[in-house]
């Protein structure tokens, strides 16, 4: 094995090598896991649809469901990267060089979303036409009962 690795490249001294049976088991497990998560996601997505169709959609519930889907998606991403892309088998430092820069996304996402939201509030405050034409009306033709520029 060692000899073979040296032929491949002088930079690497060992190769990732897994037992065939063990490997197949791992892949099968991951595939099933990904499928199950996707099905759960679809289920939640459809329940959001039913909530929307209902009389008075609960925004909090929808938001919660969306949060759950996002977490499930992150789990899916974790399995794809760590098992399929074999990142989990790499040296810890290597994993860190991939994971740490991705932390930038936290502030990247937060700042963009906060500013997008603030742009909406600005327009709702200063552009009556925008507010009038885009603010969702409550069902059954009730005039908008409350001023809520901050929430979606």
Q: Does residue 113 touch other proteins according to CB under 8 A?
A: yes
Q: Does residue 58 touch other proteins according to CB under 8 A?
A: no
Q: Does residue 125 touch other proteins according to CB under 8 A?
A: no
Q: Does residue 145 touch other proteins according to CB under 8 A?
A: no
**What is the smallest separation between the CB atom of 145 and other proteins, expressed in angstroms?**
15
Site for other proteins in 73-112 (CB under 8 A): 73, 76-77, 80-81, 83-85, 89-91, 93-94, 97-98, 101-102, 104-105, 107-109, 111-112
Q: Does residue 118 touch other proteins according to CB under 8 A?
A: yes
- Asked if residues 55 and 139 have their Cβ atoms less than 8 Å apart, the reply is yes
Task: Say whether 124 sits in a helix, a strand or coil.
Answer: helix
Q: Which is nearer to other proteins, 61 or 122 (CB)?
A: 122
Burial of 79 (0-12, 13-18, 19+ CB in 10 A): middle
Cα 43 to Cα 70, 77, 113: the distances in Å are 14, 19, 26
Site map 7..46 versus other proteins, x via CB under 8 A: xxxxxxxxxxxxxx--x---x---x--xx--xx-xx-xxx
Task: Tell me the C-alpha distance between 93 and 79, whole Å.
Answer: 19
Task: Tell me the C-alpha distance between 147 and 3, whole Å.
Answer: 73
- Asked if residues 11 and 18 have their Cβ atoms less than 8 Å apart, the reply is no
- How many residues bind other proteins (CB under 8 A)? The answer is 79
**What is the smallest separation between the CB atom of 27 and other proteins, expressed in angstroms?**
6
- Asked if residues 59 and 151 have their Cβ atoms less than 8 Å apart, the reply is yes
């Amino acid at each position: 094995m060692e000899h073979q690795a040296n032929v491949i490249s002088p930079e690497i001294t060992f190769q990732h090598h897994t037992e065939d049976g063990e490997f197949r088991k791992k892949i099968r497990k991951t595939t099933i896991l990904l499928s199950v998560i996707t099905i759960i996601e679809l289920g939640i997505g459809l329940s959001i649809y039913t909530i929307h169709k209902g009389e008075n959609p609960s925004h909090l519930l929808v938001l919660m469901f969306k949060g759950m889907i996002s977490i499930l998606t992150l789990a899916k991403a974790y399995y794809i990267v760590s098992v399929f892309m074999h990142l989990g088998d790499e040296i810890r430092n290597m994993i860190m060089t991939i994971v740490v820069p991705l932390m930038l996304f936290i502030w990247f996402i937060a700042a963009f979303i906060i500013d997008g939201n603030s742009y909406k509030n600005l327009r709702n405050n200063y552009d009556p036409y925008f507010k009038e034409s885009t603010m969702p009306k409550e069902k059954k033709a009730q005039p908008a009962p409350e001023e809520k520029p901050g929430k979606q």
